[in-house]
Structure 1
Amino acid sequence: MKGGLSAAPGTTMVTTNHEVIRQWAQRRGANPATMPNSRYDGEMGVLRLDFPHYGGAVLQPVSWADWFASFDARKLSFRYQELRADGTPSNFFRLEHAHDI
């Protein structure tokens, strides 16, 4: 399903809509980020979303404008879930090349 349409719990959706992506992230407290020292074709490298209270990789905050500029330049799509199969909120997302969907 494309866009930000409601779906049954556990359903995976795909979008390239900036506002859908931004709102999905903001509802979860996530902010745009990249991996430090990662580059892609001389531009911002690995795109991530930084969720609060998650350990692991040290991420470098970036603006939404820069994050989406890289997202668009690479022709990516955003695969995500609103809810897990049990109805609880899901943080699942994956960035894919649009031709892979």
Structure 2
Amino acid sequence: MSTSKETKDHQVIRHWAEERGGVPAKVKDTGTSNNGGILRIHFPKHSENNDELKAISWNEFFDEFDKHQLNFLYQDEKSDGEKSTFHKFVDSN
């Protein structure tokens, strides 16, 4: 059975992403001077086209993550035991 977890811990998030080949990104053309844009964790090995995403640093990623008071909802494994890349960002309020 697969279960989801939720965290704000930067080290947990980064480790989870990197263990699966994920890199921090944001959706292109979504940022303003007050808002850095829509965050994503991109998995290049699982994507044919990443034209909509712009790679960003982990520092930039976590600055926006904290600024918008987000939590990271994620799954370690699928129900068959395979590593999962399921994740989403949720409002912590």
Q: Under a length normalisation based on structure 1, what TM-score does the superposition of the two structures give?
A: 0.83
**Partners of 1:78 and 1:94 within 8 A in 2:** yes
Tell me the equivalent position of 1:39: 31
**Partners of 1:33 and 1:67 within 8 A in 2:** yes
Tell me the equivalent position of 1:65: 59
4+ aligned runs moved over 4 Å, structure 1: none
Query: What is the deviation of 1:78?
Result: 0.2
Tell me the equivalent position of 1:55: 48
Deviates more, 1:28-37 or 1:56-65: 56-65
Query: Per-residue CA shift, 1:8-33, capped at 9, x if unaligned?
Result: x5110000000000000000111000
In the alignment, the residues of structure 1 paired with residue 74 and residue 55 of structure 2 have an alpha-carbon distance, to the nearest angstrom, of 21
2:49 paired with 1:78: no
In the alignment, the residues of structure 1 paired with residue 50 and residue 91 of structure 2 have an alpha-carbon distance, to the nearest angstrom, of 23
In the alignment, the residues of structure 2 paired with residue 40 and residue 89 of structure 1 have an alpha-carbon distance, to the nearest angstrom, of 35
The share of aligned pairs that are identical, in percent, is 34
Query: What is the deviation of 1:42?
Result: 2.1
Q: Under a length normalisation based on structure 2, what TM-score does the superposition of the two structures give?
A: 0.90
- RMSD, aligned α-carbons: 1.4
2:88 paired with 1:94: yes
Q: Which runs of 5+ in 1 are unaligned?
A: 1-8
